[in-house]
Amino acid sequence: MIVLKKVLVTTDFSSASEAGLLYGRALARTFGAALHVLHVSENFFLRSTPSNPDAIQASKARAINDRLSDEDRSTLAAHVAVATSDDAAGAIVSYARREAIDVIVIGTHGRTGVQHLVSGSVAERVVRSAPCPVLTVRQLEHEFVVQDYRTSEAPMIVLKQILVATDFSEPSEAALAYGQELARTFGAQLRLVHVVDDVAARAYGPDGFLVADPALQHELEAAARRRLEELISPEDRDMLGAEPVVLTSHLPASALVQYASTRPIDLIVMGTHGRSGFSHLLMGSVAERVVRTAPCPVLTVRHPEREFLRPDALVAVTRT
């Protein structure tokens, strides 16, 4: 059962943040949660600046309030917060922990290449260390919140197809539980996807000759499909139309994004190991790369301190 009490939307007043606010508003309304909206300003106290830092903070708070409706304030008990920090991701994570937030909704600009190497991504750093699940919203090709701007109707969540990515780890088990419950709640179909390493793409000898045994690739794919079948219960298959999908690639993030881009996937749900430091520099994060380029919103789960599922739902995958 989904239990959402507090939804946090972060904003930098960009178009991606506006999309995030739309999603946060829809989640809060659907589940009767309170809506928190947070902006993180640079720490002007550590710089020489002609502006009054207090005035800047007040201006940011007014800008957030201008984006909120009367209904946000009354029905969703909207709370506006402005933090000051040179570490925006750290400030967001600290606020979520302090306020016992159940889910963070954050817009991401989806930077790649040199621009990403220089600036990084606040969203990706939040995904890596958040104490609760994180819903990232990019400039989307595909959305699951619908709003008719010609009327005053509130945004509605319309989920039809959910992709759950799994590497059979503990975070992936949690991701499957979230995907299952969201699919049940909104009547969506479930696609459980695992990416098998393409051993042929890696197995070249010094002279450029292919040395991999094709039978090995077939066995890896067959073993992955068996494990996926074990994760799908008869109920999931009947109620959710759950299907196991095995992809082959030595670039799992690219394979997941390509699969989602060629099908009407509304939401990707996946676990993240939350690596940091040297381990993160070496291995990176498949989840962060998917967040950066996915054509739809991505819900990431990382051994959260706070969950918006009841505990019995989180262990359901181990009983199927």
Q: Which residues pair with 49 in a beta bridge?
A: none
* Amino acid making up residue 229: E
Listed residue (63, 123, 92, 70) closest to 291, CA to CA: 123
Tokens of 37: 């909206």
List, edge to edge, every strand of the sheet that includes 298-301: 79-84, 34-41, 6-10, 103-107, 134-137, 298-301, 267-271, 161-165, 189-196, 243-248
Q: Which residue has the tokens 């696609």?
A: 191
User: Mean pLDDT for each consecutive 10-residue tract of the chain (320 residues)?
Assistant: 93 88 93 95 63 77 90 92 91 96 87 40 89 87 72 78 94 92 95 89 56 80 95 92 93 95 95 59 69 93 73 46
Amino acid 248: pLDDT: 93
Q: Which residue has the tokens 């992936």?
A: 172
3-state secondary structure 199-267: HHHHCECCCCCECCCHHHHHHHHHHHHHHHHHHCCHHHHHHCCCEEEEEECCCHHHHHHHHHHCCCCCE
Tokens of 260: 């989602």
Q: Which residues pair with 36 in a beta bridge?
A: 8, 79
Query: Is the CB of residue 165 less than 8 Å from the CB of residue 256?
Result: yes
**Bridge pairing between strands 298-301 and 134-137:** antiparallel
Q: Quote helix, strand, coil % in the chain, to nearest 5.
A: 45, 20, 35
Query: Is the CB of residue 44 less than 8 Å from the CB of residue 167?
Result: no
Q: Which residues pair with 34 in a beta bridge?
A: 6
Q: Which residue has the tokens 């074990």?
A: 230
Query: Is the CB of residue 86 less than 8 Å from the CB of residue 43?
Result: yes
Query: Can you list the domains of the chain with their CATH numbers?
Result: 6-319 (3.40.50.12370)
- Distance CA(211)–CA(205), nearest Å, equals 7
Amino acid 210: pLDDT: 57
Amino acid 135: pLDDT: 96
Say how many C-beta atoms besides its own lie within 10 A of residue 286's C-beta: 21
pTM: 0.86
